Structure formats: C-alpha cells, structure tokens
Amino acid sequence: MFETIVIATDGSESVRRAVDVALDLADRFDAEVHCLYVVDEGDVASSPERLRDEMEDALVERGEEAIDEVRDSTERAVVAAVEEGRPASEIDEYARDVDADVVVMGTRGRHGENRFLIGSVAERVVRTCPIPVLTVRQLADDEGEAELTGTPETV
C-alpha cells in the first residue's frame, strides 16, 4: 500500500508525533522513507539584506538538524533533502518527483498558533497536493498517546 513515504519536517517539536507515525507506517509496509525540510524563501527574503546569507545558512543548518533528528529516530535508511522555496509548493513538487504514496506532516509548525485548526502550510498541502496527505496533530499534555492499531484504512 505504501512504498514511498515523504515526511515533511520543519524541525519543530510539534512535528515529532508526525515523524513517529510516518516511521511506524514505514515499518509496517517496509516503505522507503524520504525526509524533506524546506527553507522558506519568504523567511530569507524578509530578513535584512545584509543578513540574508547568514539567515539562509542558519535555516539550511536547522534543516539538516531536523533531518538528523528523523534519522536518529529509526534504523531505516532515510533519503534526505533540504530545498528552498515556498514550503507547500516544494513539498508537493518533491512528493511528485519521488512518486510518493503519502506525505506525512504535522498540523502545526514553527509558527505555532497562527492558524486556528491547521497550520497554513499543512492546509495548503492538503488542498493542493495530488498525493494523499496524512496530517498528525500534536497531542496536548493531558491527552494520552494511543498506539496505532487496526488496518491502514482505519488509522
């Protein structure tokens, strides 16, 4: 069912559960795992011109750290990519390029509570990506973590 899974990460704590769910799916289906971090070109462009190169380097480094966190969470091989552009568009394009079966991402990212129900990047990916998107919300402190059970159709 799932041969190629793309994990879209921004390195935030809120994506941790999405990574765990994606890796569980990869284990269950022996799927190839791709991990993508997108340097938001808007973040770079909005920084002062004299700091743009430093900002871009820092964001690329953060992306590599986020990918390393995913790699450290599994014994599976992880194909990694750090891209620059508009996050939703880059996620969509990358997923198409690798012929992904599913994109897994968190519902809240680095920008936190700026959207009421779902993060703006996740919302755009869900609306525009032709590949199925599994969004995984971060649990509140008082919510228990239920183990994934059942068939893939019910997860």
**What's the pLDDT tens digit per position in 56-111?**
999 999 999 999 999 999 999 999 999 999 999 999 999 999 999 999 999 875 44
**Per-residue confidence (pLDDT) for residue 141, from 0 to 100:** 54
153 within a domain of the structure (yes/no): no
Give the count of domains, the chain: 1
Residue 2 has pLDDT above 50, yes or no: yes
30 within a domain of the structure (yes/no): yes
Residue 127, token pair as written in the block: 């609306």
154 within a domain of the structure (yes/no): no
pLDDT band of 14, cuts 50, 70, 90: confident
56 within a domain of the structure (yes/no): yes
152 within a domain of the structure (yes/no): no
**Per-residue confidence (pLDDT) for residue 43, from 0 to 100:** 87
Comparing CA positions, the residue from 134, 128, 121 lying closest to residue 29 is 134
Residue 103 belongs to what domain range?
A: 4-144
pLDDT tens, residue by residue, 24-45: 999 999 999 999 999 999 888 8
155 within a domain of the structure (yes/no): no
**Per-residue confidence (pLDDT) for residue 155, from 0 to 100:** 46
Which segment of 15-19, 100-104, 134-138 scores lowest on mean pLDDT? 134-138
User: What gap in Å lies between CA 118 and CA 27, rounded to an integer?
Assistant: 27
67 within a domain of the structure (yes/no): yes
Q: What pTM did the predictor assign?
A: 0.83
pLDDT band of 114, cuts 50, 70, 90: very low
**Per-residue confidence (pLDDT) for residue 75, from 0 to 100:** 95
Whichever domain contains 93, its CATH number is 3.40.50.12370
43 within a domain of the structure (yes/no): yes
Comparing CA positions, the residue from 8, 78, 72, 65 lying closest to residue 57 is 65
